[in-house]
Each structure stands twice: as C-alpha cells, then as structure tokens.
C-alpha cells in the first residue's frame, strides 16, 4: 500500500542543515503579532528517505523514455538529453530575470534567435515568447484580437470555434469576455462552410482554428475560410497544437492566419514533466504587432539585445518577467539540432508514421475500429470504437486499459467529442516502424481476446501498479490533501 511522505515523517529527523547564524540576532526584527505560532507540518525526514520515496514513486509512472505513448494532440516525441545539459548551464539556469539587459545578452540573444526561427516556421513575422503555455497563448490571441478591434473603435462580441475544438478554445473565449459560437463540421472533417457563412457577421471578432484539426485532417478550404473571415474584418487564430504535421510543408501565416500560438512542449519537444511546464509563444501579422505583450525582446541597431517596454498599444502582460526561458533553451537547442532539413523531415516522418499506423490498424482491426474519416490523415488520426462496442461488448475505455497491460500508453480517448467512442492516435516521428507494427498487433490481439471473453478487457488493467480507480468516489467525496 502506498505511503505519502508525510506518513514517513518522524519527529526529530531532518535533511536540511542550516547555515550558521553569522550575524547578531535581532529578536525585535519581527513583532510577535506577525509571528507564526506553530510551524507548518512539513515532513521530518532524512535525505536518503526522501530520495528513496520519490525514486519509488517514479517507478510507478509510464513515460516516453520507457515506451510508445501515442497520445493524440500531445505530440509525445523523444526528449533529447542534450537539452537538459544546456538548460542546466549556470549562465542560463542561475540568471535572475531582472538582471540588467547589458548583463543578460546571451539570454536575450537566444530569445531573439528563437523568435526569428519560430517566425520563419509559422510564416508570421512578429513573435512574443511570453505566454506560459498553449492556453495562455490562446488568451493572448483573444486579447490581441480585442485590442485590434477596439483600436478601430469596434466592439464585437462573438468568437467562432469549430465543434471539434479542444476545450481550451471555448474556455479562453469566455475568459476574454466574448461569447462562444460553435461552427459545425462537414462530412470530410473540415469546417462546414455553409454553417460558417451563416454565422459570420460583423459582430464576430475572430475564428479560432487548428489546421490540421483535432480529427487529424487538413482543412482543404482554408483559403476560403480566411477570405470569409477577413471580409468581415475578423481575425483568424491558429491553435498550433498540431504544428508537428506541417513544418516545411505549409505555414499558418501563408494560409491567412493573423495569430498563431506554438506549444513548445509539443512540437519543440520540451519534456512534458508529468503535465508541465511548457511554453506557448505567439506569432502575429503586421496589423496585430502593435498590441503584443510587453516587454518585447528586440535587437538594436548596434547589434545588442534588449527588452522594449515602450509599447503604448500593448495589451500589457499576462505573467511575470519574460516567460519560460528554461523552455526556450531546450526548444532552441532542438531547432539548432534539426535545422531546416531536420524540421521538415520531422513533419514528413510524423505524417508518414501516422498514415502507416492507420493503414496497419485498418488492415488488422478495421472492422471493429474503423477510421472516423476515410481520407489521408496528417500527424494523427481518429478511430471510432462504436462498432467494437456493439460487436464485442468492450468500449474504447476498456481497450485503453487493456493496452496498459501490453506496455503501451493508450491514445487519447473520448476526444474529439464529435466521434463516438473516439481514439485519437498520434505516433510522432521518433517511433520506429517495428514499434508501430507492435502496437497495431497489440490492438488486434486485444480485440481477438475480447471476442472470446470481453470481461478481461472490462476488468483491465491487471499488470499496473494499481488497477482501475474509483473516480466517482474521488469526485463525490474529494480528499485533496493528507489528513495530518
């Protein structure tokens, strides 16, 4: 039975050795009424015990370095180890964010060069590295849209999102003070143009899109969509979660997007860390540039780098300091390592791997797990578990849990909402053909087993540190901290 670090606490044990008090005591320094009466009940434990505790916990995690992790929409590609080495260089790691720019030229130059590279990759000239993650990048995008319209004296109230959108899109729209209007999806998986035309008017501030979208398909009508939006003076926002599909092939700036966010923890391989950190830089067109967050990293005429706070039309700032610099170091190392040729190859191989896996699954499991959209996919694809549920009596959830017993991380399940019993599969480019074959064969085996005895998958997993957990109980009577 697992034990928390608090439960390992024994009074009197310790790890920290305080430096000696080398100055006179000043017992009047803090008046009694401000003083904490009782020390917080943090653990009392030795260093070896702390190390052992967290080491043991770590072994309960499945992770990318261990095995295949085809989580759709998340781009679980390999995390190069070089990145940890360069991020740890003291010149980067121990640099205070408020250090005078003249003494942070290395950091500012790195940020500048990263901006230039990201601008080129997305085809939009002006980049802000400030947003902390994709969601914050989206909020920046919505606020930039608002500032853009208000600067023209316009007050619009609606933002359009496709019904396939990731939940962050509508959530962000609400936080930005707009009303969400959903746009339908056509049979081929792209935006329903008729529905879009019906809902577009001059009270629409923006359309938020992902392309390729969450169904893994490239919207062939993107130029038409851009025209429709620009004709009413609205902005077009690109959710860059799926950028891994198109590097070197197409750029959102060329498709007509005004604002793009990148997920550095997806396309640019910042390690996912169990949920974060990440970074969500944005790139914008000329007409949006004046509103970018403050400060902007700039290169001056004399070749030096600085932080420009003098931006009167800026929306302001969304967070402290300059953004997640530690993430920038890693992502820039990646861009330098791959270069133009490598980035293009990454996308090509991501798309190749996805189509190959889709073909293999169609071949081995197509009857029970058909593709949701019968067309070439990009870097990810969606299967529906509806037929499997009907014919074999196991759901997508059961398949996912049984995959754990086969040492695979399952794909994303039950998203996008549009597809019944959805499985969203993104292999990424760093997987070998053999791994993809093994996965397809593993799925096929689970289906064969279910045909014989569906109860096995329904009770899975069996070989993991814990079995299926009571999530309803956790939601009904939440216990969110250790009782002390």
Residue 230 vs 451, nearer CB to another protein = 230
Distance in Å, CB of 192 to another protein, minimum: 17
Residue 80 or 387: the one with the smaller Cβ distance to another protein is: 80
Report the run of H or E that residue 298 belongs to, with start and end: strand 296-299
Degrees to nearest 5, angle at CA 257 with 190 and 188: 5
CB of 89 to another protein, least distance (A): 4
Q: Is 224 exposed, middle or buried (0-12, 13-18, 19+ CB in 10 A)?
A: middle
Q: Which token pair is 152?
A: 């023209």
Residue closer to another protein (CB basis): 28 or 451: 28
CA-based angle 371:221:279, to the nearest 5?
Answer: 75
Q: For another protein, which is the closer residue by CB, 170 or 385?
A: 170
- CA-to-CA distance for 320 and 312, rounded, in angstroms? 19
Q: Give the span between the Cα atoms of 335 and 20, in whole angstroms.
A: 46
Please state the closest distance from residue 149 (CB atom) to another protein, in A. 11
Cβ neighbours for 103, distance < 8 A, ≥ 6 positions apart? none
Smaller CB separation from another protein, 448 or 467: 467
Q: 339 or 451: whose CB is closer to another protein? A: 339
Given the complex with another protein, which of 424 and 451 has the nearer CB atom?
424
Minimum distance from residue 447 beta carbon to another protein (Å):
19
Name which of 283, 223, 284 is nearest 255 in CA terms: 223
CA–CA separation, 444 and 364 (whole Å):
6
Phi and psi angles of residue 363, each rounded to the nearest 5 degrees, phi first: -65, -45
Q: How distant is the alpha carbon of residue 187 from its chain centre? A: 27
Pairwise CA distance, residues 126 & 291, whole Å: 11
What is the sign, positive or negative, of the torsion defined by CA atoms of 192, 219, 270, 142? negative
> Rounded to whole angstroms, how far apart are CA atoms 311 and 431?
45
Q: In this complex, which beta carbon is closest to another protein, that of residue 16 or of residue 452?
A: 16
- Angstrom distance (rounded) from CA 357 to CA 383: 11
CA 371 – CA 361 distance, rounded (Å): 9
For the beta carbon of residue 373, count every other beta carbon within 10 angstroms. Answer: 19
Distance of closest approach, residue 368 Cβ to another protein, in angstroms: 20
The least CB distance from residue 426 to another protein, in Å, is 12
Q: How far is the CB of 233 from another protein (least distance, A)?
A: 19
Minimal distance, residue 237 CB to another protein, in Å: 14
Nearest distance, CB of residue 145 and another protein, angstroms: 10
Whichever of 237 and 451 has its CB closer to another protein, that residue is: 237
Say if residue 450 is exposed, middle or buried (CB neighbours under 10 Å; 0-12, 13-18, 19+). Answer: buried
Strand, coil or helix: what is 284? strand
Beta carbon nearer to another protein, 392 or 436: 436
Give the nearer residue to another protein in terms of CB position, either 9 or 233: 9
C-beta closer to another protein: residue 350 or 447: 350
The nearest distance, CB 109 to another protein, in angstroms, is 6
Calculate the CA 339 to chain-centre distance.
Answer: 22
Q: Tell me how far, at minimum, the Cβ of 415 lies from another protein, in Å.
A: 7
Q: 3-class DSSP state for residue 174?
A: helix
List residues bridging with 191 in a β-sheet: 185
Helical pair 396-405 and 433-452, crossing angle rounded to 10 deg: 120
CB of 438 to another protein, least distance (A): 14
Angle ∠(258,260,261) on CA atoms, nearest 5 = 155
């Amino acid at each position: 039975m697992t034990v928390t670090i608090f439960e390992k606490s024994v009074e009197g044990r310790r790890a920290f050795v305080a430096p000696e008090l080398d100055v006179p005591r000043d017992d009047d320094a803090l008046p009694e009424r401000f003083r904490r009466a009782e020390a917080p009940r943090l653990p009392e434990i030795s260093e070896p015990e702390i190390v052992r505790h967290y080491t043991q916990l770590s072994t309960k995690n499945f992770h990318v370095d261990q095995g295949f992790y085809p989580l759709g929409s998340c781009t679980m590609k390999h995390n190069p180890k070089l990145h940890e080495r360069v991020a740890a260089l003291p010149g980067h790691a121990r640099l205070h964010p408020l250090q005078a720019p003249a003494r942070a030229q290395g950091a500012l130059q790195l940020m500048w060069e990263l901006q230039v590279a990201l601008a080129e990759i997305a085809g939009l000239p002006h980049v802000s590295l400030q947003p902390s993650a994709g969601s914050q990048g989206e909020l920046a995008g919505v606020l930039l849209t608002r500032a853009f319209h208000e600067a023209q004296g316009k007050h619009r109230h609606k933002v359009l999102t496709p019904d396939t959108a990731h939940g962050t899109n509508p959530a962000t729209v609400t936080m930005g003070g707009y009303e969400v209007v959903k746009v339908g999806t056509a049979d081929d998986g792209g935006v329903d143009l008729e529905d879009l035309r019906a809902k577009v008017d001059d009270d629409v501030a923006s359309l938020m899109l992902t392309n390729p979208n969450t169904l893994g398909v490239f919207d062939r009508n993107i130029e038409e969509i851009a025209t429709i939006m620009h004709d009413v003076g609205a902005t077009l926002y690109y959710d860059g979660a799926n950028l891994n599909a198109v590097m070197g092939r197409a750029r959102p700036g060329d498709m007509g997007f005004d604002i793009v966010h990148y997920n550095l923890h997806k396309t640019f391989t910042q390690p996912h860390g169990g949920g974060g950190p990440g970074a969500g830089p944005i790139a914008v067109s000329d007409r949006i540039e004046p509103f970018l967050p403050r400060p902007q990293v700039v290169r001056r005429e004399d070749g030096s780098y600085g932080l420009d706070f003098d931006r009167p039309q800026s929306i302001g700032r969304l967070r402290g300091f300059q953004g997640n610099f530690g993430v920038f170091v890693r992502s820039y190392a990646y861009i330098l390592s791959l270069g133009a040729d490598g980035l293009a190859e990454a996308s090509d191989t991501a798309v190749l791997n996805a189509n190959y896996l889709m073909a293999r699954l169609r071949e081995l499991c197509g009857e029970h797990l058909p593709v949701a959209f019968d067309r070439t996919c990009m870097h990810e694809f969606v299967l529906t578990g509806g037929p499997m549920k009907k014919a074999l009596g196991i759901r997508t959830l059961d398949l996912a849990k049984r995959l754990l017993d086969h040492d695979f991380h399952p794909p994303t399940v039950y998203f996008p909402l549009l597809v019944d019993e959805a499985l969203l599969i993104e292999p990424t480019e760093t997987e070998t053909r053999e791994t993809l074959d093994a996965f397809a064969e593993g799925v096929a085996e689970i289906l064969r087993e279910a045909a014989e005895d569906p109860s096995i998958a329904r009770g899975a997993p069996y070989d993991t540190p814990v079995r299926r957990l009571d999530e309803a109980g956790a939601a009904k009577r939440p216990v969110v901290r250790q009782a002390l």
